[in-house]
Every structure is written in C-alpha cells, then in structure tokens.
Amino acid sequence: MKEENCEILENVLLSENTYRMTLRQQEENFPRPGMFFALSLPSFFLRRPFSLMDHHDSFFTFVYKVVGKGTKAMSEMRAGTSLNALLGLGNGYDLSKSGDHPLLIGGGSGIGVMVDLARFLLKEGKHPLVAVGFNRKVEIYAEEELRKMSLSYRLFTVDGSAGEKGFPTLALSSPHDYVYACGPFPLLKAIALTDPVPGQFSLERRMGCGYGCCMGCTIETKHGPRRVCKDGPVFEKEDLLW
C-alpha cells in the first residue's frame, strides 16, 4: 500500500452517468489485475474504493458511475486537480489457474475490471472470451477497448437494445476452462449456482478504511470471516457462501 497525491489527467463522460477518470502515478502500483485503490474526496469523510480498467507506470484509469453526492462531485472535477489515494490495495486475480480458454464475465463497474484482466491474460498467450452486460444501449462503455484488443467478446443488454438480448450469464454455455467475474451480487450468485467450472470472483463491498483495520467489509466464507479489502476483493468462487 502506498499513499500518493495523484493529478487528474482526464475525466470524461463515457455513457449515461458513467465516467472514465485517469490519474497520474509516480510508479506502477498494481502488479496484478483486480487490485484496487481508495480515493479521498474533498469534503467527504470516507475514502471511495475503485477498481482499475487500465494502468501503466505513470498513470491508471478507472470507470465510475454517478450514484451519490461523492461520485457527483467527482464528475465535476477537471484535469489538473490533485486527489489523495491509497494505491496497490487488495490481492488481485490469480492468473495461473486460468487455463487456455478462460471466460470473463462483467457487469456494471466490474466490466472495467474484466478489460484490465483480459490484457494480462492476452500477454500470457491465453485466449479469453469476455462477456459484458448492460441494462440498455445508453449504458454501454468499454466496447472500443475490447475491439482494440482483438479478442472474442459478447455484449448483452437486458432489453435487447444492443448486442444479444439477456444477461451475460448466457455466455456460460460457451466452452471455458475457468471463469473470472466482477459485478453486482445477483450476477455473481447466478454464475456460482449454475456453472460447475471453478473460478474467481471480485466482490463489490462498502469499505471504511480499505486496508483491513475497520472490519466494515467483513463477509462470511467457508473458511470463516474474511475482509473484502484485505483478504480480497478476489475470492475463490468455491469459498463463497450464497
């Protein structure tokens, strides 16, 4: 974990209420996909945890949706603004278990996480299939990033206004060696209860400190209580209780 003041390089609207922010960092702080950071916002007490969509030695990018006063304030911030952040938090995904043909399923803000994970897997010579789900066409983001990576992906919308109609869990019918997922709890639960293939899930959870002290993000697992921020946010699919 490292604390750093990070300058906003970009803060742009991607789709309905969804923004992409890019922050400058002094060095690479995220060696594994699925790690996260906690951002301090002026006039707000608790830090906000966010996962990455892209990162390099000098910058990192993430996607957020305006859902409350904090993210509303973020959407109005301009390039050049400095924000304090705790970097390099969480455990991240274990890529050694992926097999040659892993399936990556993302929903909501978890879609950005799957984009970042796909980059890592491609560098290792794997052949991931990425399935992303939205409610409506106006919510879609990250499709350009997926196209640029020249990988197989399937796009779903609940109302059928773009891509395939339905939920990204429909991609479970495709052959796969392993499953990685990040998104809303109902999506993860549906995967866990229907797919016999092993995998890893990144959990979304409200956090107080972000590094394991306050215990506010504790969940029950088959191995007892675990902190999402410190022991996760990535957990073995088989260890989670539904």
Q: How high is the pLDDT of residue 206?
A: 85
Q: How high is the pLDDT of residue 174?
A: 96
- Residue 232 is encoded by which pair of tokens? 């996760």
Q: How high is the pLDDT of residue 122?
A: 97
Average pLDDT, the chain: 96
The Cα–Cα gap between 28 and 9 comes to 16
pLDDT in tens, 105-125: 999 989 999 999 999 999 999
Confidence tier at 156 by pLDDT (50, 70, 90): very high
Contact of 132 with 149, CB cutoff 8 Å: no
pLDDT in tens, 133-151: 999 999 999 999 999 998 9
pLDDT average, residue stretch 61-80: 96
pTM of the model: 0.95
Confidence tier at 208 by pLDDT (50, 70, 90): confident
Map out the domains of the chain with their CATH numbers: 2-89 (2.40.30.10), 95-239 (3.40.50.80)
Query: Rounded to whole angstroms, what are the CA distances from 39 to 7, 82, 217?
Result: 12, 11, 17
pLDDT in tens, 159-178: 999 999 999 999 999 999 99
Contact of 93 with 116, CB cutoff 8 Å: no
The position carrying tokens 């960092």 is 25
